[in-house]
Amino acid sequence: MLDALTFETEDGGRPKAVMLGVQLPGVTAADLDSSLTELHLLARTLGLDVVGRVTQRRKGLGSKTVIGDGKLRELARWTGGPGVVPRYAKPGTSKREDEDEAEAGDEAGDEAGDDAESAPTEQATIVLVDHDLSPRQQRNLERATGAEVHDRTSVIIGIFHRHARTREARLQVEIARLRYLAPRLREGGGGGDRVRGGVGGKGAGESALELDRRRIRDRIAELRQELKSIDSTSSVRRDRRGELSLVALVGYTNAGKSSLMRVLTGSEVYVADELFATLDTTVRKLVPLTEPPILVSDTVGFIRKLPHDLIASFRSTLQEAVNADLIIHLVDASDPAHRLHMEVTREVLGEVGADLSTAWTVLNKMDLVDDETRSALLTEHAGATAISVKRPDDVATLHERILAFFLGEIESAELLVPWSRHGEIAHLLHEKCRVLGEVHEDDGAHFSVRAAASILADIRRRLASN
């Protein structure tokens, strides 16, 4: 499967991939296009070059090759494969059993009005399917296309595997990867290399197969035990900061959570314009600092059709959202599919028990939409805050809202700091307030600031103490 491998051709280029998507009943053409566009981004994140796509309208995904015979031949033209599933017995079955399986009735018939056949412009070595495949379907597609075939779950797990940085994230992803791999051990025809890369050399016969499966089960148990130990440490860490206020940033992948985290906390968290750039939960203090400090947590992003094994694996990571005093649901408002993204986020958070009744909706990337769209979005999402992380004034407004939520009303103030106290108080003002202006006069420095009333009251007490 697509995991830690580096995908490069012999000349150092990016391997070519072709995408396959099926438009099921109830799925609009726009929804299909949006899903395939997202798969394209996932492929690019893995270092693949998508050169084409094949689509078909069908009643279901239950057939042996997912698509009909005509579309299978079209897909094979992109890869140079035979376009049919060869009739030969797989290891461990009789020839008659394999033929019966291959010739099983196609329960999901083709719909009328399939996309017009498109001539391949380049040859692909990888097929990416925008759906989950059974091991049998994956094997049949590999036989018919002569290419590596990966479903959406395989691609997502591959990206998670590549982007996991902490030990906890690596353990979580490895558990999901092994659970995905286990049922595919029997389907060794096209995926043997991936099996050997995951669990060691694969021997011949049923005993070797059972041995490999036992190794996977034992390894999963071992990883879960180690993860349980790490989770206990994380729980202790969460308990220690239990008295502190916590803001959790949640949302669809690439909505801008890490960028917002960076500007709210002044931290150098990893930011990249790619899907699942952040998998590890990061907790930092909100700046300017408050007393006691307000913590901000960046969480893993979500995506449609997120594998359930990954949701289960990252349940402990998502505890930050469950335990948060305030959840900020960040949305990429410039994405036409943002409504679906919001729904996916709510569903996943609901699965882990997060309370969304008081969550704030923050529409990000508003610098990428026109005035008419902005007005329509704010009408549709009444009460939402519209920002662009790239605009300091927008971030300052959101920052003030957070402060007001935890510390009370935000106020403006004009403060005179005598020169004898300048070093001490000026540092405090820049650390805990939003400084709007500073003018130096003979009697001292005149500051224009905005901060929570409690913070301003404390600073005034300090000024009056001498």
Q: Which of 164, 169, 137, 170 is nearest to 151 (CA)?
A: 137
Phi, psi of 122 (to 5 degrees): -145, 160
Q: What is the Cα–Cα distance from 415 to 385, expressed in whole angstroms?
A: 30
Q: What is the Cα–Cα distance from 393 to 434, expressed in whole angstroms?
A: 11
Q: What is the Cα–Cα distance from 109 to 431, expressed in whole angstroms?
A: 66
Q: What is the model's pLDDT at position 91?
A: 54
Q: What is the model's pLDDT at position 351?
A: 82
The answer on pLDDT for 100 being more than 80 is no
Q: Which of 60, 85, 94 is nearest to 138 (CA)?
A: 85
Q: What is the model's pLDDT at position 278?
A: 55
Backbone torsion region of residue 85, taken as left when φ is above 0, otherwise alpha when ψ lies between -120 and 50, otherwise beta = beta
Residue 53: CB partners within 8 Å, gap ≥ 6?
Answer: 18, 19, 20, 21, 36
Tell which wins on pLDDT, 6 or 57. 57
Type of residue at 44: R
Q: What is the Cα–Cα distance from 235 to 242, expressed in whole angstroms?
A: 10
Highest mean pLDDT among 79-88, 330-339, 452-461: 330-339
Strands 16-23 and 49-57 turn out to be: parallel
H runs (alpha helix) in 241-368: 257-265, 308-313, 319-323, 338-351
The answer on pLDDT for 204 being more than 70 is no
Residue 193's pLDDT band (boundaries 50, 70, 90)?
A: very low
H runs (alpha helix) in 241-337: 257-265, 308-313, 319-323
* Distances, alpha carbon 315 to alpha carbons 168, 170, 282, in Å: 12, 14, 15
Pick the CATH number of 409-464 from 3.10.350.10, 3.30.70.240, 2.40.400.10, 3.10.129.10: 3.30.70.240
Q: What is the Cα–Cα distance from 13 to 47, expressed in whole angstroms?
A: 9
Residue 224: CB partners within 8 Å, gap ≥ 6?
Answer: 175
Pick the CATH number of 16-163 from 3.40.50.11060, 3.40.50.300, 3.20.20.70, 1.10.101.10: 3.40.50.11060
Q: Which of 131, 11, 115 is nearest to 53 (CA)?
A: 115
* Distances, alpha carbon 293 to alpha carbons 200, 242, 394, 457, in Å: 49, 12, 22, 17
pLDDT in tens, 351-372: 888 888 779 999 999 999 999 9
Tell which wins on pLDDT, 204 or 215. 215
* Distances, alpha carbon 242 to alpha carbons 14, 296, 321, 401, 454, in Å: 47, 13, 14, 22, 22
pLDDT in tens, 242-293: 568 899 999 998 899 989 998 999 876 555 555 555 555 678 899 887 777 8
Q: What is the model's pLDDT at position 65?
A: 94
Average pLDDT across the chain, whole number: 82
SS3 content of the chain, % helix, strand, coil (to 5): 45, 20, 35
Residue 292: asked if its preceding bond is cis (omega within 30°), the reply is yes
Tell which wins on pLDDT, 94 or 445. 445
Q: CA 168, 169, 172, 175 torsion: positive or negative?
A: negative
CATH superfamily of 243-405: P-loop containing nucleotide triphosphate hydrolases (3.40.50.300)
Q: What is the model's pLDDT at position 107?
A: 43
pLDDT in tens, 285-301: 998 877 778 999 887 78
Tell which wins on pLDDT, 98 or 22. 22
Q: Are 1 and 194 in contact (CB under 8 A)?
A: yes
Tell which wins on pLDDT, 453 or 22. 22
Q: What is the Cα–Cα distance from 255 to 250, expressed in whole angstroms?
A: 9
The answer on pLDDT for 115 being more than 60 is no
Same fold, 16-163 and 243-405: yes
Q: What is the Cα–Cα distance from 414 to 162, expressed in whole angstroms?
A: 51
Span of 158-162, 197-201, 415-419 with lowest mean pLDDT: 197-201
pLDDT in tens, 443-465: 999 999 988 888 889 899 999 88
Chain-centre distance of CA 24, in angstroms? 24
Residue 188's pLDDT band (boundaries 50, 70, 90)?
A: very low
Q: Are 74 and 54 in contact (CB under 8 A)?
A: yes
Domain boundaries, the chain: 16-163, 243-405, 409-464
pLDDT in tens, 37-51: 999 999 998 889 999
Percent of the chain with pLDDT over 90: 45
Q: What is the Cα–Cα distance from 415 to 447, expressed in whole angstroms?
A: 5
